[in-house]
Amino acid sequence: MKRVLIVHYGEIGLKGANKEYFVKKLRKSMKMRLEKRFRKTFSIKYTLGRLLIELPEKFNEEEYVDVLRKIFGIKNFKFTYVGSTKIDKLGAQAWDNLPKFEVRPSNFRIKIKRSMNLPYKSAEAEREIGALMLNNGIDMKVKLKNPEFIVDIELFNDIGYFSYNTYKGQAGMPSNSQGKLVSLISSGIDSPVASFQMMRRGARVIFVHFHGYPYTDKDEMHQSKEIVEILSKYQFDTKMYLVPFGEIQKKIAVNPDVPAKIRTVLYRRLMLRIAESIAKKERAKGLITGDNYGQVASQTSENMFAIHEATSIPLFHPLISLDKEDIIKIAEKIGTFDISKLPCKDSCSMFMPKHPELKANIYDLHKIEEHLPIGDWIVSAIEEGEVIKF
Ligand code: ATP
Ligand code: MG
């Protein structure tokens, strides 16, 4: 029997006049991903708010699921059979193709969505096919609310598509449907999740990692690269800047005019300035961080105020109000947690004061920064940085 993949989008459906733009982006990203993975051409039809893709005669459902689950903008998808629009015939086809259950569900229902102009009501057709299944001996009870098993039918004018499982997608907005953003990514838990959340909203994300090498070993850099590699599977053409930061930190740490407790805030201000410079170069329109309100010393209101004051570019902190547990759940789901949780010495734990300032004052910071060659540091950090692509 012919098989067709039906994809439903989520929030795109709420768009008005520019809906076509988002659908085009979604189609493009599905086409590119599928063609890259399966090395063949796919044509994607757009009908009545759904995307339809003809499947090859033999296909591995799991492999398709793996690709489709990484595409933003997809609300759900299903691998349908192309059947009749005649209810009795469709019912027989749905019966013939029932999956082989490892554990038989105890209840089921038939669920029909149909075009308006068909000559019967959905509820009647559902009852008719349900009765056919019961007569044939499906050995399950009918349960209309939250059944364990659903025979899902979409009836168009000339085709009845049926399937037995609907997979949930990532939802969000299609890749590259919004502008570019630069994400400050550490090897920790939070910033990979923050980057993912903004990619999921359609941003094209460029990554910047500040490393302490040669003052730290290369583990931390490798760890952040591995994380970016995982995230790169969710967008196209990923770029990552690896910026040496250890030397700058050391210069600040040995400077007798810089009080130890204020170092952390100075490091962060510098990171933002360097990232802003990279954003300008890349024509990106904002920065992303994994900051979370009140989680660590640099995230008190006072310190966030003092840190953000260093730049004028928009800053996005998608995790600002989440609990750590919720952040970890997302990290586990996207596959970055196992890498992020590995202990490693990062540039942030290096040259750190024992008792960091919790309420930095920007007037003091300005006075200290006046005597530091900040402009030169920014230029040389970017010059000495390395760019890698995934
Ligand atoms: P994370 O889990 O992302 O490391 P965190 O909870 O440890 O965050 P901080 O270490 O204070 O918090 O870092 C706050 C944010 O600053 C990070 O989420 C990240 O966006 C940015 N950041 C910190 N260290 C680095 C680094 N070495 N390179 C790039 N960005 C960094
Ligand atoms: Mg960290």
Q: How far is the CA of 185 from the centre of ligand 1 (A)?
A: 6
Tokens of residue 117, six digits:
């102009």
- Give yes or no for residue 210 CB within 6 A of ligand 1: yes
Query: Cα-flanking dihedrals φ and ψ of residue 145, to 5°?
Result: -95, 130
Of the residues 348, 349, 351, 386, which should be mutated to test ligand 1's pocket, given the most ligand atoms within 8 Å of the CB? 348
Number of other residues whose CB lies within 10 A of the CB of residue 44: 17
Nearest to 233 by CA among 172, 167, 318, 175: 175
Q: Is the peptide bond before 105 cis (omega within 30 degrees of 0)?
A: no
Which stretch of DSSP H or E encloses residue 26? helix 19-38
Cα–chain-centroid distance for residue 236? 12
Nearest to 274 by CA among 145, 375, 197, 175: 375
- Give yes or no for residue 220 CB within 6 A of ligand 1: no
Mean pLDDT of the residues in the chain: 94
Nearest to 221 by CA among 379, 332, 344: 344
Nearest to 9 by CA among 56, 65, 55, 68: 68
Query: Cα-flanking dihedrals φ and ψ of residue 138, to 5°?
Result: -65, -20
The beta strand positions in 115-248, using DSSP E, are 141-142, 149-155, 160-163, 167-168, 180-184, 204-211, 239-244
Question: Do 230 and 390 form a contact (C-beta atoms < 8 A)?
Answer: no
pLDDT of residue 347: 56
Of the residues 183, 190, 209, which should be mutated to test ligand 1's pocket, given the most ligand atoms within 8 Å of the CB? 190
Q: What percent of the chain has pLDDT over 90?
A: 85
SS3 53: strand
Residue 14 — very low, low, confident or very high, per pLDDT cuts 50/70/90?
Answer: confident
Q: How far is the CA of 170 from the centre of ligand 1 (A)?
A: 25
pLDDT in tens, 288-298: 999 999 887 77
- The DSSP code sequence of 296-331 is SGGGSHHHHHHHHTT--S-EE-TTTT--HHHHHHHH
Q: Looking at ligand 1, which atom is closest to the CA of residue 189?
A: 2
- Close Cβ partners of 199 (under 8 Å, ≥ 6 residues apart): 72, 175, 205, 231, 234, 235
Residue with tokens 């009918």: 142
* Verdict on whether the full-model pTM lies above 0.85: yes
pLDDT of residue 116: 72
pLDDT of residue 354: 82
Tokens of residue 1, six digits:
């029997």
pLDDT(38) > 60: yes
pLDDT of residue 326: 97
Nearest to 268 by CA among 315, 311, 307: 307
Q: Looking at ligand 1, which atom is closest to the CA of residue 212?
A: 27
Q: Give Cα separations from 254 to 23, 78, 131 (angstroms).
A: 55, 61, 81
- Give yes or no for residue 227 CB within 6 A of ligand 1: no
SS3 151: strand
Instruction: Tell me which amino acid residue 240 is.
Output: M
Q: Give CA angle at 208 (357, 242), nearest 5°.
A: 105
Domains and CATH numbers, the chain: 3-168 (3.30.2130.30), 180-389 (3.40.50.620)
pLDDT(349) > 70: no
pLDDT in tens, 190-239: 999 999 999 999 999 999 999 999 888 888 999 999 999 999 999 989 99
pLDDT in tens, 41-58: 999 999 888 999 999 999
Taking the C-alpha atoms of residue 386 and residue 240, their distance in angstroms, rounded to an integer, is 8
pLDDT in tens, 111-147: 999 877 777 789 999 999 999 999 999 999 999 999 9
Taking the C-alpha atoms of residue 370 and residue 96, their distance in angstroms, rounded to an integer, is 78
Number of other residues whose CB lies within 10 A of the CB of residue 116: 4
- Close Cβ partners of 299 (under 8 Å, ≥ 6 residues apart): 291, 292, 293
- Close Cβ partners of 175 (under 8 Å, ≥ 6 residues apart): 25, 29, 71, 72, 73, 199, 202, 204, 234, 235, 236
Residue 343 — very low, low, confident or very high, per pLDDT cuts 50/70/90?
Answer: confident
